Amino acid sequence: MNEKKQLTLYVDTRRCMGCRACEIACKLENDLPRGPRYTMVTETEVIEDGVDKLKFLPVPCQHCADAPCLKACPTGAIYKRADGIVMVNKKKCIGCHECLWSCPFGVPQYGADGKMQKCTMCAFRQDHGEKPACAAACPAEAILVGSPEEISATLRNRYGAEASHTNTTRMAGKPVK
């Protein structure tokens, strides 16, 4: 009756402010040594309207609907769950790195055993009713997990009012009390 739909992990980049709590929360949750970084926060310098700014983008696995890594894997070690999470069966992985060369986001990591490991959207946590570790950790509450409808509702709640705000800059003359 309850069909498990693809869950989305959405990063609200308007909110991500580059604290990197998600990176270490992920390491802790997955009990990772130094080496594999399931999620990584990128930092890009931009000039926006003449102003120097930093833009942050955490890049965990996107769990693509049409995953290039899955198609590239020669042994079929990469598979997609019914709820859309892309997983690796380490027993089948031969550590050939094809997944890394085909992933546009550079997500696959390789552990000490040479086999591929990566973000699982905390499938194990989700199976136990918890949010992914990065989403729970984020102090800015920038990482949203849920169905597209749920995420859309949150975003509308956050930003929908923006369009209707009057311009609050300068009201010349008297101060506003």
Q: Which of residues 96-135 bind other proteins (CB under 8 A)?
A: 96-98, 100-110, 113-115, 120, 122, 124-125, 128, 130
Pick from 90, 70, 72: nearest CA to 80: 70
**Binding range to other proteins, per CB under 8 A, among 3-11, 51-59, 78-86, 146-154:** 51-59
Q: Which residue stretch of 1-9, 14-22, 78-86, 146-154 sits at the interface with other proteins (rule: CB under 8 A)?
A: 14-22
Q: Smallest gap, in angstroms, from Cβ of residue 49 to other proteins?
A: 11
Q: How many CA atoms lie within 13 A of 17 on its CB side?
A: 5
Q: Closer CB to other proteins, residue 2 or residue 166?
A: 166
Q: What is the C-alpha separation between 102 and 96, in angstroms, rounded?
A: 12
Backbone angles phi, psi at 80, to 5 degrees: -115, 125
Do the beta carbons of residue 107 and residue 68 sit within 8 Å? no
Length of the chain (residues):
177
Distance CA 127, CA 121 (A): 11
Closest distance of CB 1 from other proteins, Å:
27
Binding status of residue 40 toward other proteins by CB under 8 A = yes
Q: Which of 56, 61, 63, 67 binds other proteins (CB under 8 A)?
A: 56
174 binds other proteins (CB under 8 A): yes
Single residue of 4, 53, 71, 156 touching other proteins by CB under 8 A: 53
CA gyration radius, the chain: 20
